[in-house]
Structure 1
Amino acid sequence: MDGENKDYHEDTVLELRPPELRQIKDYAVLIELGGEYLCEESILGKLADGIDQCLESLRDYVFRVRRRFVGKPLHEVDISGPFDGIEGLAKALRRPDEETKEKIKEGRIGASLMEATRQMADAVQELIERVQGKTDKYRKRDLLLQAYDKLKFFAHTLFTTYKYLTRILLC
């Protein structure tokens, strides 16, 4: 076991939705639907521990993705914002005050966790697509400039052809 490479995920196919995201989503659904029954600090602490474990695995996954494709412009994808949002919710679950317990009972913490998970999934998907070579989408301005260049080329070709044909016919 000592000589084995512990980084066995190097050759795996990149998943657009890693299983850690599904686990965090499951926690969000559990908190949203069963919030009234889960307001004991011991249960909330276990949920927060599970979310933290998923976040740690997700951090490793994102690190492996970035390390695997060195040199690609990945700085444009904001991963830290969704991480911080989910981490903040886990901290709120770990040491809930009365206001937080009310939010849990109403389902607002679960909904917030679900939204943060959705943002994280979108960010991870964007990161993987960029790593795999996704190009930026064209804006309307770019499309108009491209059409203008094609039209200019076509008009220049017609004008040059007309000019040479008139010289040939008039000479």
Structure 2
Amino acid sequence: MEFLKQIFKFKNMKNLEPEVFSAYAKVVWDGKTGGKIKTRKRSIIKVDMPKEFRGLDRYPCPDELFISSIAACLLTTFLYFKKKMRLKLLDLSVEGEGKISRKADGYKLEGAWFKFTVVTRKRYEKAIMQCLNLAEEYCHLLNLLPIKAKVKKTFKFL
């Protein structure tokens, strides 16, 4: 019953923090077919063009980083609610895939699929499902997509 009170609390956006978050990235060309992304934490992520676009394909392409950013957003949004609800979890992963097709006006994202895999105890099933639903609802990157992504939720119980 306690976790239900927590869920109703989350339905009010004022209970989520922080109110404002700023993201920063700078991409510097590497002199070839890619670049280095520098973030606010001074992280460096290398990116390259795939061979299909005459790139060297040395690192992930922007499309892969885009899909992985959404998968990571789903994962961290889930973890946010899991922590708030004090739930136990044994393992968690999110897979993502996107289909990009050439159209008359350029390349467009035609489809996106994400799959949560949660390993937990059977007694947490209902609460974990609520967490998954909240993650899907509140993942702001998922909500930016121009198409409705499919999100599958799978469980493994120990």
Q: TM-score band, normalised by the shorter chain?
A: under 0.3
Provide TM-score, normalisation by structure 1: 0.26
Between 1 and 2, higher relative CO (CA 8 Å, sep ≥ 6) is seen in 1
Higher helix proportion: 1
Question: Whose radius of gyration is greater, 1 or 2?
Answer: 1
TM-score in terms of structure 2 length: 0.27
Greater share of strand residues, 1 or 2?
2
